[in-house]
Structure 1
Amino acid sequence: MSDYRISLRRDDVLFAEISVSQARYAEMTHEMRKRFPREEGFSLHIEHRRELRRILEQGPDGLRLLGIEYRHEEVSSHA
């Protein structure tokens, strides 16, 4: 699974942070750039989150997911 973490900043102060699925990424970034223009001091910081590995435990009741490790990669501002 991969998704995106978008941080909306105003004058370099964190205003909001949301997670967006890959399916809605283009729509959400377009909408956010339209509603929060750069001219008013807003900027978007976008990171692509990818699963790096899953930590599992095997026991008498089967497999159990203990955790997921993610890698965050910055997305260029032109994407």
Structure 2
Amino acid sequence: MTSRISLESEAVLDLLRTHFDVPAETTADTQFHSLDLDSLVLIELSVILTKRYGVQVAGDELATAGTAAKAADLLTQKGAAV
């Protein structure tokens, strides 16, 4: 039996803070659109997440997810290697 380890939303937040200078007070439930993360930023984030966690995730999937918490859930569902 395999157990799935879920990716913590803090990991996604850390990438946002490090690579895209989002405010320190940003939480896992802060909407991406309120941070002015446009489609180009979400595509860049998707490339970083894909490389780091070994699963394909597209910018439009991140846009649909809308928050770091939901993006982490999406990566976990896709089988991200944590």
Which fold has the larger relative contact order, with Cα–Cα distance below 8 Å and residues 6 or more apart in sequence?
A: 2
Give the TM-score normalised by the residue count of structure 1: 0.30
Larger helix proportion of the pair? 2
Higher share of residues assigned strand: 1
